[in-house]
Amino acid sequence: MSETKKTTAQELEEVQVIQQAKDFWGKYSKPVSYIGGLVILLAGGWLAYKNFVKDPKEKKSNEAISKAQMYFAMDSLDLALNGDGASAGFLKVIKNYDGTDAGNLAHYYAGAIYLRKEDYKNAIKHLEDFSTSATQIQSLAWRMLADAYMSNGQKEKGAEYYEKAATLNEKDEASSSDNLYYAARAYEYLGKNEKAVKMLTLLKEKYPKSVHGMVVDKYLARLGVINND
């Protein structure tokens, strides 16, 4: 997760600061005390919710999703999606454990399965509902979402998600270079040649030794950009 940078406060004379503090407290001591008490109550309520509701629910959801993940790893996609009668599939985890980490992750798996099954509408639905701060996983989810949109005839959105996937996790050369290439092809298909050239130029600058990067001049030439190196 990203850290918020601290800013330096403007310098003030000590006397002025003390006087301002006194004036503020004189006017707002009761409201501040009331809000402070409310914060304490809310914090206590949050701790109770976390300890007695959220944490147990997270634990149960993690247990529920584990069998579905096993079936997914075995390539038993129907069992992973719908369960085996005794254990929940990803769809039931989504239904029963909405708001948990496992419920969120189940959207990712369900979207991947529907994409494999060429059910692009449901793939889009679940992949749109998934989000994570883990850039590598989010980038992959957006790549799958781009594939689903392209296959569903929504080329514009497909191109946009290829681009998003390419620029989210730039350290992953193989994935990002592929996504830039696919974004360029999608924009070219849409007649947006300037955008296509932009994607290919980024590919050339950032990943010149990648599979697509080594032949990127060919794609640029097709769009009227000639390498003068």
Q: Which residue has the higher pLDDT, 3 or 216?
A: 216
DSSP class of 214: G
Dihedral over alpha carbons 197, 225, 218, 164 (to 10 degrees): -10
Q: Place 24 in a pLDDT band, splitting at 50, 70 and 90.
A: very low
Question: How far apart, in whole angstroms, are the C-alpha atoms of residue 141 and residue 37?
Answer: 43
- In this predicted structure, the answer to whether residue 215 has a pLDDT above a threshold of 70 is yes
Segment 151-171, tens digit of pLDDT: 999 999 999 999 999 999 888
Question: How far apart, in whole angstroms, are the C-alpha atoms of residue 163 and residue 200?
Answer: 11
- In this predicted structure, the answer to whether residue 121 has a pLDDT above a threshold of 50 is yes
Q: Which of 221, 215, 167 is nearest to 193 (CA)?
A: 221
Per-residue pLDDT at 54: 61
Q: Which residue has the higher pLDDT, 48 or 86?
A: 86
Q: Which domains does the chain have, with CATH numbers?
A: 30-130 (no CATH), 132-229 (1.25.40.10)
**What's the average model confidence in pLDDT over 181-206?**
94
Minimum mean pLDDT range among 36-45, 81-90, 179-188: 36-45
Q: Which tokens in the block code for residue 98?
A: 């909405």
Per-residue pLDDT at 17: 41
Per-residue pLDDT at 12: 37
Global pTM? 0.73
Question: How far apart, in whole angstroms, are the C-alpha atoms of residue 206 and residue 200?
Answer: 10
Per-residue pLDDT at 20: 43
Percent of the chain scoring above 90 in pLDDT: 51
Per-residue pLDDT at 208: 93
Residue 10 falls in which region: left (phi positive, over 0), alpha (psi -120 to 50) or beta: beta
Q: Which tokens in the block code for residue 2?
A: 């990203």
- In this predicted structure, the answer to whether residue 44 has a pLDDT above a threshold of 70 is no
Segment 49-67, tens digit of pLDDT: 455 446 667 788 888 888 9
Q: How far is CA 90 from the centre of its chain?
A: 19
Per-residue pLDDT at 21: 41
Q: Which residues fall within 8 angstroms of residue 66, CB to CB, at 6 or more apart?
A: none
